[in-house]
Structure 1
């Protein structure tokens, strides 16, 4: 897959990094030398180019790109000009960062393939984490449905997905995956998540599609999908489940 990212601010740089990590070929373009330098070791090609001059963009294989992302975050005029220029150059798909309601309206008139508002996504995720106890992050899918990351309620710890399937079904909640703390290769022990962050993905492994026999641990993170109105009810309901008693120590049992 080949992508062109125009605008290498914070959003554009993160996008380039993630695309490259997934194996995509990435062309990054920005008028600021420091922004280009920040991604030159990450992307395949990083170019310093003035946005206000549309002519030089013809040198790039825009038609061959699977998508062009206009990630400009501070220049309405440049964003509009770039959108029109990418159309002229035959871009297959244009994804545009929205700067304002008026900008969004104009982009829709231009029939841009996809509109992105990073700040809105971040704000919605923060709102979910602030309003629902145990939620660390959230992603609003629209139409009243969300994906959230949540700590394991006390009532779930020690139980399996099979044992709790009825309550998941009752609230129409789908368990997408489980993120679990992993042993440190040097210390050989489980590392706790930083208290002030709530989670550190570098110390967690994603378990993939959960099987019915997966047992929830107290320090797991659950990635859940469901209706926004049902998720708080579900988390409250499972927190009220009878806690699973700790397993007896095998050595103690043998002595008895």
Structure 2
């Protein structure tokens, strides 16, 4: 998948580095050249520009990426201006950090649906890692008893077919999708590895090393799977 991360402070760098680590393509953006220089060798590309300048931000591949993260942690105004500008330029999906309840209210009033609250999100990830250990990558609570997890594949499942594994029968867990590492060209024409989503799960699919599993089930059942 392809992302733009606007704001390369602590949170922005963490997001950019993590998404790159799991095979996604990231372009980082910041008005501070020092921040750009600190990360440019770690991700697909890093650009120094003012995200409130329409001419500058219009040069970004806004419509070619899967999502844009806006991670400003101090300036309420710049965050809102950036979001409004990106919306006017056709950004399909934005994930925006909030710094206060008022900030969140303003963002939602202009149509932002996905909000980041780092402290709350960190707590959720802590819960996920308590259950699944280091295998946990992402976590969503669907109900009090059922959760959706993205997790690293247990080694014992590698090279086995979906039919053989039979997660529903053996663990009472549903496999929703697989993210598989492939090699392709990035937005800058360079060869880069990235994850491709397989959402049509058939019995003949073999689990490969580096596959990420999106699974749904009860907490206790997911814990059993993670312990393999």
Same-fold call, TM cutoff 0.5: yes
Query: Of the candidates 202, 216, 222, which is equivalent to residue 226 of structure 1?
Result: 216
Q: Tell me: CA distance 1:168–1:34, structure 2 relative to 1, closer, same or farther (3 Å).
A: farther
In structure 2, what is the equivalent of residue 140 of structure 1? 139
Alignment of 1:146-161 (within 5 A): 146-149=148-151, 152=154
Query: Of the candidates 81, 90, 93, which is equivalent to residue 92 of structure 1?
Result: 90
The unaligned stretches of length 5 or more in structure 1 are 180-207, 241-256
Please identify the structure whose Cα radius of gyration is greater. 1
Instruction: Work out whether residues 8 and 28 of structure 2, in 8 Å CA contact, stay in contact via their aligned partners in 1.
Output: no
CA-based RMSD of the aligned residues comes to 4.8
TM-score, normalised with respect to structure 2? 0.58
Partner SS state of residue 221, structure 2: helix
Mapped to 1, the partners of 2:8 and 2:34 lie a distance apart of 9
Residue 232 (structure 1) shift: 1.0
Q: Tell me: CA distance 1:166–1:28, structure 2 relative to 1, closer, same or farther (3 Å).
A: closer
Q: Tell me: CA distance 1:143–1:122, structure 2 relative to 1, closer, same or farther (3 Å).
A: same
Residue-pair matches, total = 197
Partner SS state of residue 60, structure 1: helix
In structure 2, what is the equivalent of residue 165 of structure 1? 166
Instruction: Work out whether residues 153 and 235 of structure 1, in 8 Å CA contact, stay in contact via their aligned partners in 2.
Output: no
Q: Which runs of 4+ in 1 moved over 6 A?
A: 237-240
Residue 225 (structure 1) shift: 0.7
Mapped to 2, the partners of 1:118 and 1:210 lie a distance apart of 37
Residue 124 (structure 1) shift: 1.4
TM-score, normalised with respect to structure 1? 0.53
Residue 104 (structure 1) shift: 1.5
Mapped to 1, the partners of 2:44 and 2:167 lie a distance apart of 47
Instruction: Work out whether residues 139 and 149 of structure 2, in 8 Å CA contact, stay in contact via their aligned partners in 1.
Output: yes
Residue 74 (structure 1) shift: 2.7
Residue 108 (structure 1) shift: 0.5
In structure 2, what is the equivalent of residue 75 of structure 1? 75
Instruction: Work out whether residues 62 and 68 of structure 1, in 8 Å CA contact, stay in contact via their aligned partners in 2.
Output: no
In structure 1, what is the equivalent of residue 56 of structure 2? 60
The unaligned stretches of length 5 or more in structure 2 are 181-197
Q: Deviations over 1:185-221 (max 9, x none)?
A: xxxxxxxxxxxxxxxxxxxxxxx879669699xxx99
Instruction: Work out whether residues 160 and 214 of structure 1, in 8 Å CA contact, stay in contact via their aligned partners in 2.
Output: yes
Instruction: Work out whether residues 167 and 174 of structure 2, in 8 Å CA contact, stay in contact via their aligned partners in 1.
Output: no
The answer to which structure has the higher strand fraction is 2
Q: Deviations over 1:124-183 (max 9, x none)?
A: 1221222x36563252234333114378599x89x975455275466243275599xxxx
Higher RCO, 1 vs 2 (CA within 8 Å, ≥6 residues apart): 2
Mapped to 1, the partners of 2:171 and 2:25 lie a distance apart of 40
Residue 226 (structure 1) shift: 0.9
